[in-house]
Amino acid sequence: MASQLVPTIHDIDLGRYECIDGVLIEKPVPTITHASLQKRALTLLSSAGEPLGMIALPEVSLNQKAVERSDWMTPDVMVSDANGFREAENGHALPPVALAVEILSPGQSFLVMREKAERYLAWGVRGVWLIDPESKAALCFSSDIGAGSGHLIFDGTLRAGDLSIQLSDLFR
């Protein structure tokens, strides 16, 4: 009888997971629409952030704390503050961070992702944008007003501090 190999955490592509309360959670595989929006968001935010000294990067994990067994989440796009990113020993970013952008995958809703936005804000992210490709809308949160007060935007400007882009440019 052949023995079965039991995967360990070292056998798993941790880039496909987030760690919430010590539990690994697999991220949804992106669709073409999701990936296209992620690319546009990265391009727009790179252009908007560069004059402010900010750096926009895709798929960079954010550690909750600078300790070895910290939880982490990986937004679709993350923007540093004006001082750039601080890097943990494991290569993840550390708070504070100016903006985390999450593009909803099929089956996700603003309601489901609101908890994630609250967690980002609690970790030291100053702004969170949840982008819904289906409704072409964004739910925006700010650490100034808290996750309980998201602003739903169907047209106009998405803002996070001094950083801003037009929603219509994202969906162009």
* Domain carrying residue 42: 28-170
| Domain annotation covers residue 163 | yes
**pLDDT score for 6:** 46
Q: Rounded distance, CA 25 to CA 19, Å?
A: 6
Over 80: is that where the pLDDT of 157 sits? yes
- The count of domains in the chain is 1
Q: Rounded distance, CA 95 to CA 81, Å?
A: 9
42-89: per-residue pLDDT in tens?
A: 999 999 999 999 999 999 999 999 887 889 999 999 999 998 999 998
| Domain annotation covers residue 21 | no
CATH code assigned at 141: 3.90.1570.10
| Domain annotation covers residue 14 | no
**pLDDT score for 110:** 85
Over 80: is that where the pLDDT of 10 sits? no
| Domain annotation covers residue 1 | no
| Domain annotation covers residue 32 | yes
Q: Rounded distance, CA 122 to CA 146, Å?
A: 9
| Domain annotation covers residue 103 | yes
CA distances from 4 to 1, 7, 28, 76 (A): 9, 9, 27, 35
| Domain annotation covers residue 77 | yes
Model confidence band, residue 127 (pLDDT cutoffs 50, 70, 90): very high
| Domain annotation covers residue 102 | yes
Please give the mean pLDDT across all residues of the chain. Answer: 89
CA distances from 18 to 5, 60, 122, 171 (A): 23, 11, 16, 27
Q: Rounded distance, CA 24 to CA 41, Å?
A: 27
- Please tell me the pTM assigned to this model: 0.89
Four-CA torsion 11, 16, 21, 22, nearest 10 degrees: 10
